Structure 1
Amino acid sequence: MLVRVFADGVFGVVTLGATAVAVGMLGSVVAPPHAVQLGVLAVALLLLRRPWPGAALVGLATVAGAMPHAALLAAVGAYEVGRRLRGLARPAVLLGACALTVVAAWQWLWLAEAGGWRAPGTGLMVALIAVAGPGLVGTTVGQQEQVVQALREQNAAAEGEARLAERSRIAAEMHDLLGHRLSLISLYAGGLELGVAKASPELKEEAGQLRRTAGTAMDELRDVLGVLGPVRDGATDATGTRADLQALVDDSAAASQRVTLAWSGPDLAGVPVRVRRALHRVVREALTNAHRYAPGAAVTVAVEAGAASVAVRIVNAGGSGEPLDGGTGRGLVQLRERVEVLGGSLECGPADGGFAVAARIPLGGVRGAVVGAGGGPVRDVLTLLPRLAAGAVGLASVGALLLVGLVGAATYVPAGPGERPVVPEDGRPRLGMGRAEVEAVVGPDEPSYRAAAMGREPARPRGAECLYPYPGRDAAVGRLPVVRYCFGGGRLVEIARFSVPTSVR
């Protein structure tokens, strides 16, 4: 768990840094104020995408709207939402995240006291490329995984049923052949024992030994047949659910056994069939033992269904009647083996004057790889590598599309250098000029430069209103030049020249 969190953190930092460097090369795409804090928040939200994918995507989309540098992290969160969420929650979260991306981008310019279409246009582009696209891909992958998992479970269940059917066939053949012959030997030995009792009394003990040996052989054969286990009722969609266990309890109650069922948590209709079948057999075997060893006793069946496992405890208070038979003792041993194969545990023993059987079974239904999938750890690695490669290619594609979109947004300037009035040498802006006169020389206010200066500019004169025109000169690598003209009482009172970084550092 800690290794995965560490790996996710390293991935988030590296991805965010690489995106910041790539976006910074565009020259006029600037990071918002508090970019470092937003980057830390984006990495933290990335770490939360596994336990809370929806909430993580909402946060990542908001950060990506204000800071496109975090768009690739938002793409990872959107893919996780599409792959893992089910039902109406998936489209609701994806659409909401897209809307938040656009709103966050627009709000950024609003806070900068500017307007225009560039920020919401960039937000819409980020929403489509980094949220909607990966979300649709994740949805497709999630549906494919569901189909593959269902097919694997069906194959594993069919394989298990085939094994049980073969074992049942062997048990039936042994019963038909060996059981019949041993029964005849026991009958012949009994007749021989009676026959020699008078004719040859000295042979009576040997004849009795032969009969007892045949009887012992029959008992041992029954033990072997119990280990092989005949095929019982096959698992269905209802096996191991609350209704199924309630039916077992009702059947026991109809046989004069006082049985109650206490269920806590959700029903188990959606868990793997092997888990539900094991739970069914634990309860059935425990109730059978209660009938056999404690007839008439009060029995409580308590089931607690959790998020990761299901626990069941069957307790009988001890019966007042005599046990019906001694049994073979193999039933609980077989149950323990069945539960342990699924990665669970089973405990049984005396409890409060009676007897208790308690089991806990993981809802995953397997220990390690899926039964019947084959291949072990090597197969898992060979399956993981192509998935990682596909994820890297997909993320690189999203990054390339994102850069193309940002280049388009960055290169559009409403009033570019070719459209600026040519400033004569004797017509430079001077303190005391009116706003209209200054705009006629330097051009109108440019929203993108106003947004770039927000939080990084020198202090304004008190009560002044400022103009941020296009500066008319090229940007240095990693820096964006800004010229600010501030007016007080309608007259130019200050001209400030400074530069701001174009990316997160």
Structure 2
Amino acid sequence: MVYDLLLWAGLGIFIAAMGPDPIRDPAAFGLVTAPKVALAGVAVLVGRRWPLAALMLLVPLGPWEFGQGFATVDLSWLLPRRHVSILPLVATSPYIMWYAYLTGRRMSGLWSPLTAFLLVTVVGVGVVVAQGGDLALWVAMATGLVGTYVVPYSFGLLRRKLLQQRTQARQSAEAQARLRERARIARDMHDSLGHDLALIAVRAAGLELTPGLGPAEVRAAGELRIAAADATERLRQIIGLLREESDAPPLAPVGEEVTELVRRATDSGMSISLELARGPAPGLARAVVQEGLTNAAKHAPGAAVEVTVSRERVVVRNGPPRSRPTARPGGLGLAGLRERVRLAGGTMTAGPAGDGFELAVTIPHES
């Protein structure tokens, strides 16, 4: 409200400066200036919400006095008049330019501003015709329309487009951040829960084969193995919903080291031999070993697993399964790992090797 009152006060002062002297000719001031000030008050009142309406209300106060302008040009080679006003300015021109700018800044459609500008052009043509239709007047009127209405509107339109692009870029960045977070959650679920469920299934399969158990215990162990396999399948479906194929999963692995990972899997009943070379291992060594052990536990239960970790190469190889697999093929683990290896500058191969399966990853060592 304070802003609008100040705007109206400033506009009223400029309108008063354009009209009769209120001291010498109060009657003319009240007849000419007072209605214009009231019109300006209405324009300010509606201008915040509807700048185009304010722009149209201020048409009578437009640049229709062609005697003075922003600049003059010598057109004596074309016109009898030597000095022709370019971009005629009046005291209210800055306010009209402001509302023209706001029209471009806030209005998304083009038809309403275009119609309004056509009406303003009609008014300008009428003023020129009323003043004799001299060519110099046409030049002044045309430059006044362009400078007072078209240029500010174009700046407002450009500003709106830039802000829209900025908003779209921010929304796109937020969407990408959400997708990356979903991919990270999917990766963590796959790496932690999927691995743990696979180990539970291995333990249950081992219980089924333990001698001395009664039929009820064997059946319970079998149900536990099946339940773990079903939970693994549901986890796989959830991961599929969370992960986008175009998302690059985070590159930094989390959790325990390779030796601890192998020890925990061995405690669960897997037969694993580990060959760990001296020196720093590749950055993705833990992720590769975990994926290989998880796949061996799910798809080759009871198989012997060989894990080899050197400075630039990680290999996980398993033999043939000794019992029925606890999961169906076609998961996203190898696909996600392949992308992580690619982004790290390495190569990955995964496929049958003899009677079993081999996962091998080579990552160049950074000196």
Smaller-chain TM-score bracket: 0.3 to 0.5
If asked which structure has higher relative contact order (CA below 8 Å, sep 6+), I would say: 1
TM-score by length of 1: 0.33
Give the TM-score normalised by structure 2.
0.43
